[in-house]
Amino acid sequence: MVKGAEGTTRRVMWILFGALFLFHAAAGVASPLLPLLRQSLHASYLQIGWVNASFGVTRLLTAVPAGWLLRRRPPTMLVFLGMGIVAGGNLLAALAGSMYGVIAGRAVAGFGYSAAVVGTLTLLAGSVTRAGRARIFSLYEFLIVAGLATSTALAGFIGEWTGWRAGFLLGAALAVLGIAAALVALYRERFVESSPRGSSVQVVPVRARTAAGVRVWPAGLILLVSFVLSYAWTGLFYTLYPLYGGEQLGLTTEAVGLAMSTGYLADLALLFPYGWVADRHGRLPILMVGIMLVALAAFALPISSSGPGFIAIGVLTGMGFACWGLPPALLTDWVPDASRGMILGLYRFMIDLGYIVGPWSVSAVLESGGFRAAAWMVAAMTGGSLLAFFGLRVLPAETHHAAKVGSDG
């Protein structure tokens, strides 16, 4: 049933966004529980490493099959199935009697997380016109970061007071709440398929089809850029940045955490503005600016020598990564609707591959060549990815038209 009132449209979308916030919060409970797991289950560092690594590996294995499945099944099926699997994985980890059980639970959750994310990206891509797609994907990235930041704090607090099992139970409960909210948005309200003329984000039928073919070359370049962004995120911000602050600058763990939080805030503050500007003035210029900021931050990190400079680099990194909602918007501009699931599955595969390769390769170079070699390797790789934009000079005609319609509306 199509809802005609703009208020209903916005209400349903905000319920869906709430569900997605809860879902991503459910996936982020493990990291603050790692010290407790090591103490309680007498785990080795290698076993502790596999708690998050198993989550990443199963995500990588699931992304492309999930995209293929979307050629035959609606995206809502993957959204609900994935949320349910994440809830089950967290419950399995909470009830585990050994580290192997916790690792298995995280691996199960990884399967569900990847399936739900691919389904969600496809659902959101089909729910707005091109004129609003960068904003909707940027808002989705905002929900991811906000959900992970919230659950990390909650799980750490609950785990400290009641034990690590309660932290994983929190993750299961958040996933169940996410399922309930998604049910309200997608079924009880019958997910919106249209919106009144003149609204800033126009909603279109999810199952609509276009006649345009897949633009293989530009899509491949954007997938490559997506890998580089993910590689830099985990290699630079998750690995090099905290290590440099602690080991080279002598900052406390609390100070490093505060600096990283400042970077997250810069990311959150700019995600939606980046999307808004990209919808009106083009995706590629904003994406290029973001990548250049990341490359600059990587270059500047090993030559910073003070706490304020370290924080400034964290802010610069967050400002750069605020462009992360633009690659999926570009990908769905360049493929027919029937191929959205496949291309977004490939997109998630490249993102998850970057999450795995980034820390490993950066750590290897750090071990042999030091911080400058590792950071400048990330800077060179990130800056070099700008060459891909020479192959992306021609935009689809539909993008220009949709952007004009969105700005005129």
- Condensed to tens digits (0 to 9), the pLDDT of residues 59-111 reads 888 888 888 888 778 888 888 999 999 999 999 999 998 889 999 999 999 99
**Is residue 105, in this structure, part of any structural domain at all?**
yes
- Taking the C-alpha atoms of residue 294 and residue 134, their distance in angstroms, rounded to an integer, is 20
- Identify whether the C-beta of residue 401 lies closer than 8 Å to the C-beta of residue 197: no
Same domain, 142 and 244: no
Global confidence as pTM: 0.71
User: Looking at the structure, do residues 60 and 172 belong to the same domain, yes or no?
Assistant: yes
Going by pLDDT thresholds of 50, 70 and 90, the confidence category of residue 393 is low
Sort residue 198 into left (φ over 0), alpha (ψ -120 to 50) or beta: left
pLDDT at 189 over 60: no
Q: Which of 194-203, 233-242, 267-276, 300-309 has the lowest mean pLDDT?
A: 194-203
How far apart, in Å, are the Cα atoms of 28 and each of 51, 157, 271, 294, 373? 12, 14, 20, 24, 31
Q: What is the pLDDT of residues 228-266, one digit of tens each?
A: 998 998 888 877 888 788 778 888 766 777 787 788 888
* 272 plus 172 within the same structural domain: no
How far is 34 from 46, CA to CA, in rounded Å? Answer: 12
Is residue 26 included in any domain, yes or no?
yes
Question: Residue 169 falls within a domain, yes or no?
Answer: yes
CATH number at residue 24: 1.20.1250.20
Name which of 75-89, 106-120, 361-375 the model is least confident about. Answer: 361-375
Q: Indicate if 402 and 344 belong to the same structural domain.
A: yes
Q: How many domains does the chain have?
A: 2
What is the residue whose two structure tokens read 């939606």?
Answer: 272
The more confident residue out of 19 and 88 is 88
**Same-domain check for residues 20 and 145:** yes
| Mean pLDDT of the residues in the chain | 79
Same-domain status, 154 and 245: no
Instruction: Tell me the percentage of the chain whose pLDDT exceeds 90.
Output: 22
Helical pair 99-125 and 34-41, crossing angle rounded to 10 deg:
160
- Mean pLDDT for the stretch of residues 271-282: 86
Let me know if residue 1 belongs to a domain.
no
Supply the pLDDT for residue 391.
Answer: 66
Give CA angle at 73 (72, 76), nearest 5°.
Answer: 155
Range of the domain at 384: 216-408
Are both 121 and 253 inside the same structural domain? no
Contact 182, 22 (CB under 8 A): no
- Does any domain span residue 200? no
Residue 258 domain-assigned? yes
Helices (H), 70-129: 75-94, 99-125
Does residue 199 have a pLDDT over 60? no
Q: Which of 51-55, 148-152, 198-202, 290-294 has the highest mean pLDDT?
A: 290-294
Residue 16 · residue 182 · CB < 8 Å? yes
Q: Let me know whether 270 and 376 are in one domain.
A: yes
Task: For residues 171 and 269, state if they share a domain.
Answer: no
When mean pLDDT is compared over 112-126, 129-143, 313-327, 359-373, the highest value belongs to 313-327
Q: What mean pLDDT do residues 31-42 have?
A: 79
Strands annotated E in 78-226 = none
The predicted pLDDT at position 193 comes to 40
Residue 252 lies in a domain: yes
Residues 249, 357, single domain; the answer is yes
